[in-house]
Amino acid sequence: MLLEMKQIREFQPTATHKKALAKAEQNLKKGKTLSYDALAKELGITD
């Protein structure tokens, strides 16, 4: 099993990915984002 795990490549984020993640984290801290459940409720998909 360990040999199988060694063959899996780890995701290496690019500078663009890192910048997008940082911005998303800032928005989350500021309360500018919705959870998936809240978004579904806002869109009327769920009760």
The total of structural domains in the chain comes to 1
Could you tell me if residue 8 is inside a domain? no
Could you tell me if residue 3 is inside a domain? no
Q: Are 42 and 34 in contact (CB under 8 A)?
A: yes
Q: Are 46 and 40 in contact (CB under 8 A)?
A: yes
Per the structure, the complete domain to which residue 44 belongs is given by 15-47
Could you tell me if residue 46 is inside a domain? yes
Could you tell me if residue 4 is inside a domain? no
Mean pLDDT of the chain: 84
pLDDT in tens, 1-47: 666 666 777 889 999 999 999 998 898 889 888 888 888 888 888 76
Q: Are 17 and 25 in contact (CB under 8 A)?
A: no
Taking the alpha carbons at both ends of the chain, their separation in whole angstroms is 44
Could you tell me if residue 26 is inside a domain? yes
Q: Show Cβ contacts of residue 40 under 8 Å, excluding neighbours closer than 6 positions.
A: 46
Could you tell me if residue 6 is inside a domain? no
Q: Is the pTM of this model over 0.75?
A: no
Which residue type sits at 15? A
